[in-house]
Amino acid sequence: MTQIASKTILITGGAQGMGRLLAQRCIEKHAAKLILWDINEGQLGETVSALSGKEADVTGAVVNVRDGDAVAAAAEEAGHVDILVNNAGIVAGKPLAEQSHADIDRTIGVNVSGVIHTTRAFLPDMLAHGGHIVNMASASGYIPLPRLTTYAASKWACLGFSESLRVELRDQPNVQVTTVCPSYIDTGMFDGVRAPIGAPLLTPDYAVSRILRAIEEDQAKVNMPWLVHLMPLCYNLLPSWIFEPVIGRGLGIYRAMDHFRGHGDE
């Protein structure tokens, strides 16, 4: 079981949204130190200032997780980390034909390369001293989603990476890996999303509570809400001519992003 109290926790994308709330809740659980990474210097400074002066030591670093060298340098400066939360993520919520090459490269860079670079940077120390890695994948890593082509691709990759790493480390009991696959969370990242039937928008408080419980209980995977558990089964067992009209269109999954207006990053 992983203890949060008295531990050093690093959260990427920690300046706002889920990252900031995770940091706040870890402080409430008596973490010793919070290290927040984010590319938004202004927002990061405001968050560190707001969370400082409490029980935990809170520091921040401006880090572009797409840059492997920058990640390695920042990781060396951070030192030992007990719990790593790969939370940074972005979304381009529009048809592929409307996405620029920069949109595509940035999405894959943050959501895939950033997770791998950051995990790789801290893994040797964790293998020596123990640790817990949390990777924020997505329910979109299970099924096709219109207007989320690049995002879904990145989350399929994140899910595959995280699960493969967990199995690779199965003989290393001192290092735990948790993969988190939520549906839409009600943060600014997905403003305007219409939740599918059976999968209401998750509140950030609920999502963070489930993630922290998963860390403390060393859970391998967190799917939320309940409908997400059924998606891989339905998608792989049902032929497309049944899945798409009944599940994809019938439950509103394929229309969820029609009115997207979110800011696109976490």
For residue 61 the two structure tokens come to 């670093």
Strands (DSSP E) found in 57-120: 57-62, 83-86
Q: Which residues of 52-69 are buried (b: 16+ CB within 10 A; e: fewer)?
A: eeeebebebbebbbbbbe
Strands 33-38 and 57-62, sheet pairing:
parallel
Residue 186: phi, psi to the nearest 5? -80, 70
Given the residues 142, 151, 184, 254, the one annotated as active site: 151
Clarify whether 151 is annotated catalytic. yes
84/164 Cα distance (integer angstroms):
17
Tell the burial category of 110 from Cβ atoms under 10 Å away from its Cβ (0-12, 13-18, 19+).
buried
Say whether 107 sits in a helix, a strand or coil: helix
7/216 Cα distance (integer angstroms):
12
160/165 Cα distance (integer angstroms):
8
Which residues are the active-site residues?
A: 151
